Structure 1
């Protein structure tokens, strides 16, 4: 997939776009996924200084883009153009974290992760390691 051109948002907003889009792509944003997004934004150092009161507005802005014609690709383009290379793996890891949060990954979520991996140029070995780590963290008895 060619790297698309898109509008830009802050890197923190782009990370939120990745998580929100993953959660919404199957048309079911579960409570676990939404809690995970909130937990990530509230606890990870990358979101230091981010005004958490803006989380809902950022999520709504992302949702607005996804409803446009070719919205999914527009969101992917925005994520890709807004993140420095050093945060590409972070974006992928956060999306995987949200996917794993409800202990069931839908086909649409897998497809979004594939598209995100491609647009961010996350290599397959790194992606596999990120996915394996999430499986280990979310394994149940």
Structure 2
């Protein structure tokens, strides 16, 4: 996989984390864990993480930042990684166990930009809910 594809996946996670205007420590930790453990990031140079995050922030803060970050990511990612990108975004937004309206709108926007069917995105969302469910008290 190219470093551009790695960067695109990380950009999607960063945008997901910032979609509710506040990136939490849990979200940052989840991004780091996903990069460290998932096979898709196997050859990613972790020393570049700060540079990748800063590039994402620069684009986000520019004109049409959100659309530009997502359009660039979707253009770079091969079709077989589009469900991975969506799954990573869901994973990051689900980590605080509650999705704000802004996060839900972001996921809807991402769904629209990716070439994924509704059944695939629903399965990814159900899987995340199952992973983060807690026992009743």
TM-score of the two chains, using structure 2 as the length reference: 0.94
Provide the rounded CA distance (Å) in 1 between the counterparts of 2:115 and 2:108.
Answer: 10
Partner of 2:39: 45
Long gaps (5+) in structure 1: 1-8
RMSD of aligned alpha carbons: 1.0
Provide the rounded CA distance (Å) in 1 between the counterparts of 2:57 and 2:100.
Answer: 19
Alignment size in residue pairs: 133
**Match status 1:78 vs 2:78:** no
- Kindly report structure 1 stretches of 4+ aligned residues shifted beyond 2 Å: none
**1:43-82 Cα deviation digits (max 9, x unpaired):** 1011011111211211111111111111110011111111
Partner of 2:82: 88
Long gaps (5+) in structure 2: none
Aligned partners of 2:8 and 2:73 also within 8 Å:
yes
Partner of 1:23: 17
Determine helix, strand or coil for the equivalent of 1:69. Answer: coil
**Match status 1:122 vs 2:116:** yes
